[in-house]
């Protein structure tokens, strides 16, 4: 069950668990334990940034069309888009598997 953030009338923050189907809407007020709580916008709980790199072990080292190469000269790609651009420049010599 997800955690939802609420504020009391005195400004304290409380976190409560609710099923997604039963969660109060943002800005609505509920009573819990005799205290009025107003649902707040929740901060992001997951870091969505991706620091993933794909190192190709099958391509030639220090390939001139590779966006970057590691210390061993192996081509490094940061996204599938970079791989697609690399493949498009190769006229069928290298394919994405």
The structure's pTM equals 0.46
How far apart are alpha carbons 11 and 41 in whole angstroms? 14
In this structure, is residue 28 part of a structural domain? yes
- What pLDDT score does 72 carry? 94
53-89: pLDDT as tens digits: 888 888 889 999 899 999 999 999 988 888 888 888 8
When divided into structural domains, the chain yields a total of: 2
Residue for token pair 């190469």: 69
Q: What is the pLDDT of residue 59?
A: 85
Q: Tell me the percentage of the chain whose pLDDT exceeds 90.
A: 49
Q: Do 7 and 34 belong together in one domain?
A: yes
pLDDT digits (tens, 9 = 90+) for 27-45: 999 999 999 999 999 776 6
Instruction: Domain of residue 73: give its range.
Output: 54-89
């Amino acid at each position: 069950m997800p955690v939802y953030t609420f504020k009391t009338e005195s400004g304290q923050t409380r976190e409560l668990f609710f099923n997604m189907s039963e969660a109060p809407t943002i800005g609505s007020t509920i009573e819990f334990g005799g205290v009025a709580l107003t649902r707040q916008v929740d901060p992001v709980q997951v870091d969505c940034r991706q620091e993933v790199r794909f190192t190709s072990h099958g391509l030639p080292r220090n390939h001139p069309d590779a966006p970057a190469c590691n210390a061993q000269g192996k081509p490094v790609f940061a996204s599938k888009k970079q791989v697609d651009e690399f493949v498009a420049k190769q006229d069928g010599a290298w394919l994405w598997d």
